[in-house]
Amino acid sequence: MPAGSRRFTALLCLLLAQLSGCAANKPVDDTVLDAERWRHAVTAGDVTSVEPLRLVVARLVAQPEAALLISHAAGPEGVEWAGQVRRWLVALGVASARILLRPDSPDNNIHLAVIMEVKE
Print pLDDT tens along the chain (120 aa): 555 544 554 455 444 444 443 333 333 467 898 888 887 888 999 898 888 888 899 999 999 999 999 999 999 999 999 999 999 999 999 999 999 999 999 888 999 999 986 444
Q: How far apart are CA 42 and CA 60, in angstroms?
A: 23
Q: What is the 8-class DSSP label of residue 114?
A: E
Count of structural domains, the chain: 1
Please give the pLDDT value at position 106.
Answer: 86
Residue 120 in domain: no
Domain span including residue 24: 3-115
Q: How far apart are CA 60 and CA 47, in angstroms?
A: 16
Residue 69 in domain: yes
Residue 38 in domain: yes
Q: pTM score, two decimals?
A: 0.71
User: What is the bridge-based pairing of β-strands 110-115 and 67-71?
Assistant: antiparallel
Helices and strands, number each (H, E), in the chain = 5, 4
